[in-house]
Structure 1
Amino acid sequence: MTNQVLEAIVQRADELSALGLSNEKLGRLDDQAAKVLRESGVIRMLQPKTYGGLEFHPRDFAETVMKIASLDGSTGWVSGVVGVHPWEMAFADPKVQEEIWGEDQDTWIASPYAPMGIARPVDGGYVFNGRWQFSSGTDHCDWIFLGGFLGDEEGKMAHPPVSLHLILPRSDYQIVEDSWDVVGLRGTGSKDIIVKDAFVPAYRTLEYSKVVDGSAAKEAGLTNPTYHLPFSAAFPLGITASLIGICEGALAHHMAYQKSRVQVTGTKIKDDPYVLFAIGEAAAEIAAARSALLDNASRMYDIVASGREVTFDERAVGRRTQVAAAWRAVRAVDEIVARSGGNAMRMDNPIQRFWRDAHMGLAHAIHVPGSVFHVSSLTQLDIEPPHGPMRSMI
């Protein structure tokens, strides 16, 4: 299948790249950048066809996000994060899908999924309260997925803990302005969200455990293998794809800058074998990170397309591959930035913005290697990993 979305992005590459500074100054995506994304169809790549979606292969989605992020990190990040939400919405009750997409199939859905709220059961649903950070692209979204724990009658977390994903319209939550003042990815507008005593009907909820184990997709009757990917493969894909794309953008700007640069010693970069070696090594590392992530997505897709479920061991190794790819690419960027000279750190040089964006993206919880590497090592030693937080990111 031709990736017409990627083709549309390529045609407007210069426009998206030029909007990067505006995104950063605004602290959110410029309206024109959001308009380009809507017109390209990137947010509909994983959306069900019943509501104008394209149901692309996850690899195509990742490649498109990488391209966007190579033009501007914040635009790519929003594409990767917001672009995954229609994938999960495909599991939701048809009634809420109609509420969101019935009148406008380009309606965007924000998040975050972190369970920072409590849902107290009442007749017909829940009363929901909480505060969340990091709602990327939220200014351009009209609905939101929010993570929360099931509460008891007093509004305290029930035991054992039960995690839910709750779906709310813009009228039921508050976006906290001036809550996104950070060093990188400033244009993502990843602001705080507050919910106070919002009623969430039961049909606007999903059990997190069912999303993770794949039963939500089965119960929804979905047949496209894309929807049977493990959550731990689909959710991180857009995030890590954008991070690797940011690294590709940093490399491209570095190469353009170094092409005619002369060092203070009078040596042209093209005549400095040490810098040339570093450039070549970094380019190879970023390319390897890209290949690893895309191959991982394709392998997961092939497993579910064959009718087999992805095992916990395979999920753990897949997450290890994804996390390692992120760190590999950012380390490569550090090597070339260290050889870009002081002028690369001037605010009018895009290299420094891509460098900042890369490190901000690496700080996302999905890229923390500790428990992921720990669990993947245990599974490969044929040792059952402990239950609880250790397995939560797998």
Structure 2
Amino acid sequence: MTHLISPTSVPRMQDRDEAGDALLRALNDMVPALRDRARAAEEAGRIPDETICALQEAGMFRAVVPKRYGGLELPYPYVPQIFRILGRGCSSTSWSMGFLCYHNYQFGHFPLQAQDEVWGGRGYTMAPGQVMPSGKARKVEGGYELEGRWGYATGINHGDWMLVTALTEMGDGTREMRRFYVPVGDFTVLDTWDVVAMKATGSHDVTLAPCFVPAHRSILVEDMRNIRAEGLQHNPGPLWRIPLLSFMVLACAGPMVGAAEALLETVTEVMKVKVGAYSGDRQQGLMSQHMRVARLAMDLDATIRLWEGHTDDLWQAVVAGETPSRERRAEIRAVTAHVVKRCYETITELAGAVGSRSYYADNPIQRFHRDMSSLSTHALFEYDHLANLYGATRLGIDLPANAMI
């Protein structure tokens, strides 16, 4: 096993945090159990309760909660590593539980009353969320009336609150894109997640009948994206000076990175003992496999260094008091899409490197490949579009005001 994929390796970060290191070690220790549970989780269409309890006990959901609520408020580079390490064990766990962890960061943008509401009890929340504005709302006295249907409610089976977005009629002829949070129990969960990959995320559709949402449970999306939300005055640390999408996309590449590492480890172990079905040659002795493994390991190492480098550079910039420019934000989005693309190419080649046995239902190789085939199509990682945005900035072209950076 190489240094690259060792489950005890520490990420290359300039800022170390004792609590963060302890959390990563605890998550590393869970990887074998996550792999053992992955098939059962897929068949059940949800993350096992044992996994949820273990993550809670490890303190993962406190990772980006302010310290004044008992949170860890970790340096940002730890957040992508959480996704990455979980991704070595189970892609669905990494994606869904990583998001439930990350969404605590979003609550730091809401008014202080909201922060007290969601964090004042146990010190963290588990809130699924949906970004697409497929609901509708209107301003009323004391708050908003909200209704709608939202898809891809990842982690809905395990949530306290649900974060949703809706185009909101403000009563003066204007409309605003606003973020809301509502108790999970107010939603109806529709059994729509009939898929062939990432099944354990349980990303069903949800509906919400017209309901009243108090004003403190809503925030303007534009304020969240541009680091000017009301709640940030109560969270002066650098963690909340990172642009929303930059924070999210670098972290969300973690499952792909972790899966690529897991497959490189698994496939190389298979190659050590596999014998060709017709030739009888041991793959361990084939020069072609030596060269393939070397190339894929080096490519993956370079990709991970790119990802970690941009993650740490972003953190060091905000710690120094810098606000990432629009050009820098476009670069981060494109780099993340590039990392995902390169990891998926590695995963695809590895999955086909050891024969059809990889596609038996009890073989984790096929599950990683299916899951990452699905994840690579996510809108967050739309390579051509994001490369176009970044390339335009390199050539001096101003991006549209509504560019998703």
TM-score by length of 2: 0.91
DSSP 3-state at the match of 2:259: helix
Give the 3 Å change call, closer, same or farther, for CA 277–243 of structure 1 in structure 2.
same
What is the match of residue 45 of structure 1?
Answer: 63
How many pairs does the alignment contain? 386
What is the CA–CA distance in structure 1 between the aligned matches of 2:197 and 2:236, rounded to whole Å?
A: 39
Q: Deviations over 1:179-235 (max 9, x none)?
A: 112121111111111111021111101111111111127743322111111112111
CA distance in 1, matches of 2:216, 2:260: 40
Q: Deviation above 4 Å: which 4+ runs of structure 1? A: none
**Partner residue, 1:215:** 228
1:264-343 to structure 2, matched below 5 A, reads 264=277, 265-343=279-357
Supply the distance in 1 between the matched residues of 2:184 and 2:90 (Cα, whole angstroms): 27
In the alignment, is residue 361 of structure 1 matched against residue 378 of structure 2? no
What do residues 243-283 of structure 1 show as CA deviations (whole Å, max 9, x unaligned)?
21122122222122222011122111111222222222222
Residue from 213, 223, 242 that aligns with 1:200: 213
Q: Does 1:146 align with 2:160?
A: no
**Counterpart-to-counterpart distance in 2, 1:254 and 1:107:** 37
Q: Extract unaligned runs of 5+ from structure 1.
A: none
Mapped partners of 2:231, 2:116: distance in 1: 20
Q: What amino acid maps onto 1:362 in structure 2?
A: S
Aligned counterpart in structure 1 of residue 264 of structure 2, from 251, 262, 271: 251
Corresponding residue of 1:226 = 239
- Give the structure 2 partner of residue 241 of structure 1: 254
Matched, 1:110 2:128: yes
Contact 1:38–1:106 (CA under 8 A) maintained in structure 2: no
Residue number in structure 2 paired with 1:382: 396
Q: Matches of 2:300 and 2:130 in 1, distance apart? A: 28
The answer to whether the 8 A contact 2:260-2:343 is kept is: yes
SS at match of 2:152: strand
Q: Give the counterpart letter for 1:238 in structure 2.
A: A
Structure 2 residue aligned with 1:34: 52
SS of the aligned residue for 2:130 comes to coil
1:118 deviates by 0.9
- Code of the residue aligned with 1:122 in structure 2: it is V
Structure 1 pair 102–230 and aligned structure 2 pair: CA distance change class (3 A): same
* Superposition deviation, residue 311 in structure 1: 0.3
- Residue 80 of structure 1 contacts residue 241 of structure 1 at CA under 8 Å; is this kept in 2? no
Q: Secondary structure at the match of 1:103?
A: coil
Which residue of the partner structure matches residue 148 of structure 2?
130
Moved more, 308-317 or 181-190: 181-190
Shift of 1:309: 0.9
Q: Which amino acid aligns with 2:267?
A: H
Conserved 8 A contact 1:337-1:351: yes
- Secondary structure of 2:148's counterpart equals strand
Query: 2:156 touches 2:184 (CA, 8 Å); kept in 1?
Result: no
Name the structure 1 match of 2:28.
10
Partner of 1:187: 200
Residue 180 of structure 2 aligns with which residue? Answer: 166
Q: Secondary structure at the match of 1:119?
A: strand
- Which deviations, in whole Å up to 9, do the C-alpha atoms of 1:7-33 show, x marking residues without a partner? 112233322221111211110101111
Letter in 1 for 2:31: A
Work out the CA distance in 2 between the residues paired with 1:124 and 1:48.
28
User: Does residue 25 of the first structure (1) align with residue 43 of the second (2)?
Assistant: yes
Deviation at 1:162, TM superposition (A): 2.2
Q: Deviations over 1:331-367 (max 9, x none)?
A: 0111111212011111111100011111111111101
Residue 108 of structure 2, aligned match among 90, 94, 100: 90
Provide structure 2 residue ranges, at least 5 long, that are not aligned to the other structure.
1-16
Distance 2:282 2:131 in 1: 49
Structure 2: how far apart are the matches of 1:55 and 1:219? 14
User: Tell me, what secondary structure is at the counterpart of 2:209?
Assistant: strand
Contact 1:81 1:238 in 2 (8 A): no
Are the aligned partners of 2:65 and 2:124 in contact in 1 as well (CA < 8 Å)? no
Greater mean deviation of Cα atoms: 218-227 or 241-250: 218-227
CA distance 1:219–1:226, shift in 2 (3 Å): closer
Residue 238 of structure 1 and its aligned partner are, at CA, apart by 2.6
Secondary structure in 1 aligned to 2:55? helix
Describe the SS at the equivalent of 1:226: helix
Q: C-alpha separation between the residues in 2 aligned to 1:32 and 1:43?
A: 15
Say which is worse superposed, 195-204 or 14-23, in terms of deviation.
14-23
